[in-house]
Amino acid sequence: MAKNYAAFDEAMYHVGFAKKALQGAALAVLPGDPGRVEPLAKTLGEGAQFIASHREYTSWLTRVEGAPVLVCSTGMGGPSVGICLEELARLGITHVIRVGTTGTIQEKINLGDVIINKAAVRLDGTSGHYAPQEFPAVASFSVTGALAQAASSCGAPFHVGVSVSSDTFWPGQERYDSFTGYVPRRFQGSMREWQALGALNYEMETSALFVVSQALGLKAGAVCGVVVKRTQSESVAADDVYLRALAYQIKVVRGAIKILLHIG
């Protein structure tokens, strides 16, 4: 199948920029929140510069050891991730690392820890548009290995395992503190099942990221900071927990980028 790469000066409809803006970057860091892009770009590397902001996609370019690296937000959920990956692939991106927040469902994992997902349970809809349900949502071995190696080297408290990726924040993650408090029968008791199977966390993008990346021929990894501990509370932790988790994530992602740049 022929691959539909974009022309050098052809701006993508959704992300709002052309290949020439990447200055040769092949690796992208993908936070969800557009507001996290600028600080991530400035702390991950040097010479950070704004590229574009269109819809949920805010993009900056930074340099790690002199190599250009894209930082682009994806928004929340699988559909936005899928659109972002499609357009970045056309622009020549080959490696992607998701950076996000998550809620753990395992007692052994603490607030502020880092979770590196090697696979994901597909509770999303987007991945089903790219592969049948039997197809696994798995990360790139090389990207996951680089993330784990970097986490170990920098002393970050990290855990490698399976995520549960839900299209919803409330019912799909078996939260009962929604407006109605109603959780469909399909999801009642589901958190205990995922816990028993050893899944580590809930979030909303990773299964789409892994399946779509595999379908497009991209190498993908994901690292999330734990800001909710579902075994104790439904509430998102205080800002200091988020900042601690983010500081670890930055060290892990920067280290992983350096490893990936060296292995090619």
Task: Specify the pLDDT at position 245.
Answer: 96
Q: Is 63 a catalytic residue?
A: no
Nearest to 247 by CA among 221, 222, 225: 225
87 part of the active site:
yes
Amino acid 264: pLDDT? 66
Amino acid identity, position 145: G
Residue 263 has what pLDDT? 86
CA distances from 18 to 7, 9, 15, 24, 30 (A): 8, 5, 9, 11, 17
Selected catalytic residue, list 14, 55, 63, 129: 14
Compute the C-alpha angle 189/100/90, nearest 5°.
115
Torsion of CA 149, 153, 27, 201, to 10 degrees: 60
pLDDT of residue 238: 82
User: Which SS3 state, helix, strand or coil, does residue 101 take?
Assistant: strand
Task: Please list the residues that pair with 53 across neighbouring strands.
Answer: 58
Catalytic residue among 95, 98, 159, 230: 230
Joined together, the tokens standing for residue 82 give 């899928």
User: What local confidence, expressed as pLDDT, does residue 233 receive?
Assistant: 86
Low-confidence ranges of the chain (pLDDT < 70): 264
Q: Which domains does the chain have, with CATH numbers?
A: 19-263 (3.40.50.1580)
pTM of structure:
0.97
The pLDDT, as a whole number, for residue 9 is 97
The CB density around residue 240, as the number of other CB atoms within 10 Å, is: 10
Among residues 87, 174, 203, 205, the one annotated as catalytic is: 87
What pLDDT does residue 237 have?
75
Cβ atoms < 10 Å from Cβ of 243: 12
Of the candidates 86, 77, 98, 79, the residue with the CA atom closest to the CA atom of residue 28: 98
Q: From the candidates 36, 90, 98, 175, which is the catalytic residue?
A: 175
Angle of helix 78-90 versus helix 206-216 axis, rounded to 10: 30
Active site includes 14? yes
Q: Which pLDDT value is given to residue 234? A: 82
